[in-house]
Structure formats: structure tokens, C-alpha cells
Amino acid sequence: MGEGGRPEYDLLVKEYETNTTIDGKEICLGALSRATDPELIKEFLEFLFSPKVSGQDVHTGGSGLAANPKGRYLMWDFIKANWNRIEEKLGANKVLLQRFLRLSLIKYADKEVEKDITKFFSDKDQEGYDRALVIAADTIKSNASYREREEKAILEWLIQRGYV
């Protein structure tokens, strides 16, 4: 899906909706999460939290979007704008909610995003998913520190070898 567009997206959604296997559905969600078109990413987020996707599968899409540089920031915006909807879909089972949050938030490497996440959840009842937020905050800070420390050397290495 990373190279595909609307036709491939629609085909994967149809496959998800008609597939009867757990693995098949997970593969479809993983592929859909690799979309690079912002409109398809937004549509996928809507699909992910629709009744068509079971709560136990939402983390697969969240994890995929977290690994997608074009998707992770759109996903964070979606989480903030749709928190009540997310809590409604996943909140009855805190394991599902904490898994979604942990897997969706750990790929950032920006201290400002970590501050935004902390601020957003500061007035929320974090019971049942508080540990996921701690893990995400620690991981983001570590990723950001690594990026700040090594970015210049890695870029020079890539340039020397003709990758950039």
C-alpha cells in the first residue's frame, strides 16, 4: 500500500471486510496502515474506529501508522480529536486501550510531541492505561535524544555512500 493509491486502498478494505481469517484481517490492516496519501490515512483512521474493525484489531492499524512517517502525526491528531470515540470503542477493555496507545505512541522522536501527549492526557482518568503512557513518554524521550545525538553523523554517512 505504500506505493498504492485509491484502487489499492479500496481493494484492501474490501478484502478486510470479506476475509474470514484473523491473520488475513491483520495483514489487510497492516497493509492499509502503510498508505502515504494523507487523505487515505485519514480515511483509514475513520475505518479503524468504525464498527467494521473489532476493538481487538485496532492496535494493528495503530502500530502500522506509528511506523509510517506519513501517518504517525496524522494519527496523533486523530487521537486528540477523537479521544471520546477511541475511549468508547476500547475503554471497556483497558488491555486493548493500553495496547493501542503504547503501540501507537512509541515511534515518535520529538520531545515536543512527548510534551503534547503528556499535556493531553494530564486531565484524563488514566486508570488501566497509565503504564502505556509512561512507556511511550520514556521511549519518545530516548528516541529524541538518540536523534539529537546521532542525526548529523548518520546523515554524513548516508551522503558519503550516495544515499542522500
pLDDT at 2 over 70: no
Q: Quick one: average pLDDT of 110-134?
A: 96
For the chain, first and last CA: distance in Å?
Answer: 24
- Which pLDDT belongs to residue 127? 94
Cα dihedral sign for 101, 122, 79, 48?
A: positive
Query: What's the chain's average pLDDT?
Result: 96
Exposed, middle or buried by CB within 10 Å (0-12, 13-18, 19+), for 92? exposed
Number of other CB atoms surrounding residue 30 within 10 Å: 16
